[in-house]
Structure 1
Amino acid sequence: ISTDILTISFFTTSSRVDGIKERIKKQVNFYVHDYSKIAEA
């Protein structure tokens, strides 16, 4: 039973980390896109 709890907590943590990574990636892409628009202007 304890291993099941560990597995569940591991998967929820990893998915949370993936979500954070995705958010950071989106923010970086947003800033890069914004910066290139400013550079073009």
Structure 2
Amino acid sequence: SPHVGGVHFAFADGHGRFVSEYIDLSVYEGLLTRSGGEVPGDF
């Protein structure tokens, strides 16, 4: 379902979190990479 301002993410460790649509692209890409070694930082 559409949410204003972002999206709800479900993480592999079982927790969920709302992520803003204004997240930095490099942080977003780091969250989506399984084994790229990126450190996503705060989001």
With normalisation by structure 2, the TM-score equals 0.20
Higher helix proportion (structure 1 or 2): 1
Higher strand proportion (structure 1 or 2): 2
Larger-gyration structure (1/2) = 1
With normalisation by structure 1, the TM-score equals 0.21
